[in-house]
Amino acid sequence: MISRRPLLWLIAAALVAAAGGAALSRMLAQKQPQLHSGTWLPQRQLLGAFALSDLSGKRFDNTALTGHNSLLFFGFTSCPDVCPTTLAALAPLLRQPPLPELQVLFVSVDPGRDRPETLRPYLASFDPHIVGLTGSAAALAPLLHSLGAIAERVALPDGSYTMDHTATLYLLDPQGRMTAVFSPPFASASLRADLELLAHSRVL
């Protein structure tokens, strides 16, 4: 007579494994927020070393990212459309922060024209708390590379130039790691909803 005990043990083990797998799936699902206007990155990326300057001339490097949730955006003051519309969408987030210690960083990709005296009134017209950052092309390169962004000078027929640059919005966590990315067009309401979702999901 063949014992049924080994078969029962196998069935029990399979049920336990299935239950464990289902629990694990639920845990993973809970940790992967589905954003409306962006993509959460489960494998957070620590940025390489960089050093820029804020509008008062103070050094701004990786250590300035710690202790804050940061929204970082590349742009330039002569940008005709994407930059001003993005800043207009970001400004309301500073008046009613959806995340604690939220800072908005505007990194100029046009150091030849965007001096502090130019950037300061430009950013203040959107919100005085937006942090403007500048640096030479060589200083910008490590940050652009870490975020997979580009910034290229493009000559115009009239002899002037414009800048082609990545218009992505990057969310950095309080450890200075890239944790989510957002692509234009941006809307304050959608950004706020996504940031609040991330906060409530405890992934920041």
Residue linked to tokens 């050094």 = 59
* Residue closest to 69 by CA, chosen among 20, 103, 119, 18: 103
pLDDT for 33: 77
Q: Are both 49 and 111 inside the same structural domain?
A: yes
Q: Which two tokens stand for residue 31?
A: 């940790």
Q: Are both 23 and 50 inside the same structural domain?
A: no
How large is the greatest C-alpha to C-alpha distance in the chain, in angstroms?
95
CATH number, domain of 77, equals 3.40.30.10
Q: Are both 22 and 41 inside the same structural domain?
A: no
Q: Are both 40 and 107 inside the same structural domain?
A: yes
Q: Are both 93 and 2 inside the same structural domain?
A: no
Distance CA 101, CA 116 (A): 24
In the chain, how many domains are there?
A: 2
Per-residue pLDDT band for 200 (boundaries 50, 70, 90) equals confident
Please check the confidence at residue 108 and state whether its pLDDT lies above 80: yes
Q: Which two tokens stand for residue 76?
A: 């330039």
3-state secondary structure of 131: strand
Q: Are both 22 and 104 inside the same structural domain?
A: no
If you compute the radius of gyration of the chain from its CA atoms, what whole number of angstroms results? Answer: 23
Q: Are both 85 and 142 inside the same structural domain?
A: yes
Note down the domain range covering 17: 1-30
Write out pLDDT tens, residues 164-182.
999 999 999 999 999 999 9
What are the start-end ranges of the H helices in the chain? 5-30, 82-95, 116-124, 137-147, 188-200
**157 CB burial (10 A radius; 0-12, 13-18, 19+):** exposed
Write out pLDDT tens, residues 2-49.
444 444 444 444 444 444 444 434 444 446 778 888 999 988 999 999
Q: Are both 110 and 171 inside the same structural domain?
A: yes
* Residue closest to 178 by CA, chosen among 43, 52, 50, 35: 43
Q: Are both 101 and 187 inside the same structural domain?
A: yes
Instruction: Report the range of poorest mean pLDDT among 60-64, 110-114, 131-135, 196-200.
Output: 196-200
Q: Are both 4 and 62 inside the same structural domain?
A: no
Per-residue pLDDT band for 100 (boundaries 50, 70, 90) equals confident
* Mean pLDDT (whole number) for 90-95: 94
Q: Are both 67 and 165 inside the same structural domain?
A: yes
What lies within 8 Å, CB to CB, of 97 at 6+ separation is none
Which residue(s) pair with 161 in the sheet?
155
How much is the mean pLDDT over the chain?
86
Q: Are both 100 and 120 inside the same structural domain?
A: yes
